[in-house]
Structure formats: structure tokens, C-alpha cells
Amino acid sequence: MSGLRDIAITLIIFGSLPFIFKRAQIGVMMWVWISVMNPHRLAYGFAHDFSFAVIIAGATLLSVALSKDMKAPPLNSVTVAFFMFVAWTGVSTIFAIYPDLSFFKWVDFMKTQLMAILIPMLFHKKEDLQRLIWVIVLSLAFYGTKGGLFTLLTGGSHIVWGPESSAVQENNALAVALIMMIPLMRYLHLTTAHAKVRWGLLGMMALCSVAVLGSQSRGALLAASAMLIFLWWKGRNKLAGLVLAVLFIPLLLAFMPETWYRRMDTMNTYEADASASSRLNAWTTMINLANDRPLTGGGFVVSTMEVYQRYSPKLVQGALAAHSIYFQALGEHGYVGLGLYLLLFYTVWRKARWIMRAVRKRADLAWAADLSAMMQVTLVGFAVGGAFLSLVTFDVPYYLVAIMVATLALVKRELKAPTPTPAPAAATAPEPSARFGRKHSPRPGSG
């Protein structure tokens, strides 16, 4: 079976090359699929460590060079913050505590940013963006669906893990990634025209929620709570959402074993919890490091025993990490880097809000308002869950930033274009939809 997996993955990736040469967008989607899902990690033979990403990247860049669909990246507050933050990571790498080690980490980081910036340069249609969102969602929902079924079959007695040697291998990281995907599943559920697909998305949302609990991550529980509250706030039918939550959440929590409740209860006694204590110590260490190197921080590699011996308030043993996107950005890139990192996501939030207001009277652009609202919900989940994890280099948030930049450019083009001509009066047209409370007219295939 493992040999068949190797062959299948290899055939899919090499079989995609002719299509990539024809359309550079396919190359970006293939890169996102490989980097987010890590399908080669599901094989156990030659494909497991094969450099598929290098092949896809090379083919994509060659296709980009020949593409006629390329446009310059739009200039706005998001792209300015993006380029400033990425540039500052290069500065912090030059002045890093370990320049050579940090350089290799920076190169990996820049690969993600290169593909991210290609998204607004190549994806100019709603349909292209929709496909990319599907790729991201399904890449992580695969593990969420599998993890949810595993949790149900084992009674929640085992921890759900992500694919090995990936950014979401750890149970906590996978849980936060799934929390980020649930709002995007809701967006796809709102915009797809097929009833069976909508039911499938609802099933994936439920199983991913189960997998989040099955990860036994305390930080993810807080992130999920914040995300669900904000998802309800941004929802169209608040009463139905409230009823569903009242029925589904207690049933789900009642399913979890006693060991899960004991672990969650340690949040009330964090002073005596070794994991919480190590996080507090790591945060203090990053603050001390940033105070010593306030502009550039220590570079991409700061979680070493030498650094902790110098800046940690107490001696630590075992794995070392910043345990927070905020303190990681602070320790690695200084106060300037942290400020630019926060500025990036703040500008995304503001632009999402602008889109929702700008398209309020445009039924043909209602999908952009839905996407913007769900992106804000995703940001809430990442902001809360990331407070306890070192995920500054996690690629998915940057892909989502790029999707918002592309969406913003598309919306601005459509708003400048002539208003679509209304349908003939012979057929009764549905009333213009409200922002988040509209009732859908029947869709093809919706039954």
C-alpha cells in the first residue's frame, strides 16, 4: 500500500507539470497543496522525502515568466505592510545571533512569501480565488475529517496529530489550523450551488470541530471559543446558529472522556502546570532578548540553550520554543518586526471591513462580503490560538493575506466597472440581498 502511495503522489505531481506550463495559477495551487497538506508525508517510500516542492516551484516560475496573465501586485496598505515585514526579516537575518542558521530559515520563509505574492499577481477572477480556497480548505480538512472520525471511534481517548515533519505536526498547531479552516468552510458552504457539496461541507465542519477537541489542546479550546462567538456574530441567521450551538456543543463535550476534562481544567491552575510555566518562562526570555536587541531581535533561530542560558530567568530543559506568535516575532525580529507583523494583519482586517461596506448594495459581489467576514473570523481564531504557539512562519496565514489582497483588487475593479444591467422584468428577480442576513433564492441543485 505504501508503495502505491508513493507512485500515486509522484504521478499526480509530475502529471500536473504540463498544466502548470499552460497556466501558472495551477502551479501556485499545486505548491499550496504540497506545502499545506504535505501529501508526500503520507507515503513511506521514496516519495516521503522527495523534493517535489522544488520541481513545482521551478515549473511555476517558468510558467510565470511566460504568462500573459501577470499583473503587478496592487499597492495598498496590506501589500506595503507585507513587503515591509518581509524586508525586515531579511534585516534581522543579517544581524542574527546565528546568521548562517537564520539564513536557511529565512530562505524557506521567502519561498512561502514568493508564492504568496504571486496570488494577487495571477488570480484575477472569483473562480480562480474560489479554487485556491478549496485547495487550502481541503488540504487541512483532510486531517480534520480523519482526526474527527478517529476521535469518535476511540472515544476521545487519544490525541489527534498532524502530518509528520510539517508545520502542523503538533496537536496544538493542527488544532489552530483547523479552527482557521472552519470559517472558510462556512464561506464555501454559503457560496456553492450544489446541495450535496453543502452537506459535505457541514459534515467536514462538524468533524473538524471534533478533531479540535480530540487534539486535547487547551489553547485551541480558547481559540475555538473565540472563533465560534465571532462566527455567530458574523453569521446570517443568529437564532438558528444559537440553537445549533446549544444542541451540538453540549452533546460534543459530553462525548469527551474524563481525561480531557482534567487536562482542560489545568487552565485554572496554570501556576502548577509545567507546560504553562514553560510558556511564561519562554515569553519572558523573548522579552529579555528583545530588550537587549530591540530593533532586529535575534533572527529566525533563537530557541537554543545558549540563548536561554543568557536571557531566561530560570534554567530550562527539553524542547525550547517561543510558544507564541507575538513573542516569537518579538524575539526573532525585535520590536520593529513585531510591530510590522501586527500591522500586516491589522491592515487585512481593515480592508476586509472596507470590502463588506463597499459591496453592501452589490448583490453580484455579495460573495466578497461573505469571504471578508469569514476571513475576519479566521483572523480571530489565529490571533487567539497563535498566542500559545510559534507559528510566525506558518504559510497558511500568508496565503490568506494574499487572497484578501487579490479579492480587494477584484472588488475595486468591479466597482469601477459599469453597474450590471438588471434582468428583464418578465421574470421576477430576487430582491437584493442584505449583507449578512439575506435569504437565498433557490440555487441549481439545491433541491
- Using the 3D structure, point to which of 70, 97, 122 is the last residue of a domain: 70
- Using the 3D structure, point to which of 70, 87, 109 is the last residue of a domain: 70
Q: Is residue 281 pLDDT above 90, yes or no?
A: no
Burial 354-380 (b: 16+ CB within 10 A, else e): bbbebbeebbebbbbbbbbbbbbbbbb
> What is the rounded average pLDDT for all residues in the chain?
86
The pLDDT of residue 42 is 86
Instruction: Tell me: do 101 and 87 sit in the same domain.
Output: yes
Q: Is residue 231 part of a domain?
A: yes
Q: Is residue 125 part of a domain?
A: yes
Instruction: Tell me: do 139 and 126 sit in the same domain.
Output: yes
Q: Is residue 1 pLDDT above 60, yes or no?
A: no
**Mean pLDDT throughout 411-427?**
71
CA distance linking residue 225 with residue 220, whole number of Å: 8
Instruction: Tell me: do 41 and 92 sit in the same domain.
Output: no
pLDDT in tens, 85-109: 999 999 999 999 999 999 999 999 9
Instruction: Tell me: do 112 and 122 sit in the same domain.
Output: yes
Instruction: Tell me: do 247 and 129 sit in the same domain.
Output: yes
Q: What are phi and psi of 342, to 5 degrees?
A: -70, -35
Instruction: Tell me: do 58 and 143 sit in the same domain.
Output: no
196 or 434, which is more confident: 196
Instruction: Tell me: do 12 and 128 sit in the same domain.
Output: no
Instruction: Tell me: do 132 and 59 sit in the same domain.
Output: no
Q: Is residue 447 part of a domain?
A: no
Residue 33 CA to its chain's centroid (Å): 13
Q: Is residue 182 part of a domain?
A: yes
* Residue with grid cell 500559545, as numbered in its chain: 388
Our count of domains for the chain comes to: 2
